[in-house]
Structure 1
Amino acid sequence: MKKSILLVFATVSIFYSCSSDDSDPAPDPGTQENNIQLANDATFGSILTDKDGMSLYFFSRDSKGESACNSDQCVSSWPIFYTSDVTLDAGLNASDFGEITRTDGTKQTTYKGWPLYYFAGDNAAGDTNGDKVGNNWYIAKPDYSLMYVEAQLVGKDGDGNEINFKSDYTPGDELTFYMVNATTGRTLYTFINDKKDTNTFTADDFSNDAVWPVFHIDIDKLPSILDANDFGTIDVFGRSQLTYKGWPLYYFGQDVNRGDNFGINFPAAGVWPIANVDTEPAPEN
């Protein structure tokens, strides 16, 4: 009798086991189902990857939300990432993703306005060899507070005509590095008359804040070229303002579109400089 019971139990177990194998299991949100995923990297923390775990990157020259990587050589080294079906790991928001049409008519996926790329030098899932290449390629993270861009500085003359400026604020063509808000791409400036940790521009009633709004954000994650120790916070008549190397940081009120940097010659070239790693510390008060 005991052998018969055991035989029946084994038969039932085999039946359910085979039934389970033949059916399609419900997708597990933590598996490789999503086309865009979050991976935890020992160096960079949370990073964006594709469904196979291959790392994705931002390009500093894409400051206006368009791809500046268009030559055959660039695309060969930095293949574009595109998926028409954006499925996401938990912790990512669909509203942060979009797509652009490149100059050759192909599509490219964007995150918070930044086009996404692979790096040809990454050979396996988890590789992050492309970070900081040329100081203008950075691992794509979902939580950057600031981004480091490389773009042409463009001011305006008295008639509103655009003028290109070099990094020394003389007229001419040159790509210049500087910091922007990672989410909006808005340019950050310093004021030449400020002192270390001292805002000398903003009125106590903020009546001039629309011209040069004080900037503040809680620093979370930064591109690897930036040092968190260079940032601080000051109080400006009850409002917080972020500083870099002691310089209070501002927006320019007339920068309307992503990538604008019209403040670099308002009211004159160099009065409101951009901020980058070559910026000298602010003078003592």
Structure 2
Amino acid sequence: MKTWRSASLVATTAAVLALTTACGQDQGDGSPKGQKVGNEAPVDKGADPGDGYGGGDGYGNDSGNGYGADSGKGAADGKGPGKGAARPGTAKSAGQLDVWDSEKLGEVVTDSAGFTLYRFDKDTARPPASNCEGACEKAWPVVPAKGAKAPPGVDASLLGEVTRPDGSKQLTLDGWPMYRYAKDTGPGDAKGQGVGGTWFAAAPDGKKARPGAAGGGGAARPADPAGLSTRQDPELGEIVVDRDGMTVYRFTKDSAWPMKSACTGACLKKWPVVEPVAKNDTRDILKKGFVTFDRPDGLKQQTIDCWPLYTFAGDKKPGDTNGQGVGGTWFAAGPDGKAVRASR
């Protein structure tokens, strides 16, 4: 009997420790120190993750002129716009932008010649700023703002410009500076995808291109098929959305440790819980502390970093954020589970 009790105590202690490790015992509204938002797109094989620029010399240049062999081949998935256009130039106008549907990447923005446009994780969208200068620009030629026109079906207000240190104007898409990749040698190439873990093909809304993304037009475009993913909101930055594209919220009166919801009864009519989502059915969401909360009322609720998640009955369509700031306690959820309280 003593042995059985000892074994039971050990098992119970292990379970509590596991939950403690997953959720942390942080106070207030933040994540435990050292946590990072995971599930970024993988780095392509052979890419040098060193300084985030990629390539053998740290910027993606090859041993020739830095633009790769003009093979006219090497498309991301063997499909896309027709071949034969000239390789990207350092300051060539993008002209009439277009969107093509890649089997591997989803919808990708291209220039008028069919060359893939990219965004850089070390840049910022709010405010727009480029952190690719000097040798970096040889590997990643900037896209001039002049002459660029929005792709058909994409909100023209998403296009903008940022002034570079040399005074030139660079095209932005939803605030993100746009580039071409010197090693893309033909329309439909996307050799820059994942380079250094920081360079990604651009989707029509300025986010990173990925399979399953559909439609254009920015914040109100249909959601990715994942149970939980993120979108770039013009005012709030990166926020969590559910499978239908509806904004996901946090309630600051809740707690993560112990895991507890202060929204009960009638509150749940306005703020329905987010039902459990499998970890492999998410994109760009923090996985640590991604657990199901068994509520006292019998409902099962999804959490991020152990913070309970909700949607808002007052949001009527994808892209709505009518619940933001309600009562000074309800805020859109960030991919790390934190409440997004102000513009980013």
> TM-score normalized by structure 1?
0.48
Which of the two has higher C-alpha Rg?
1
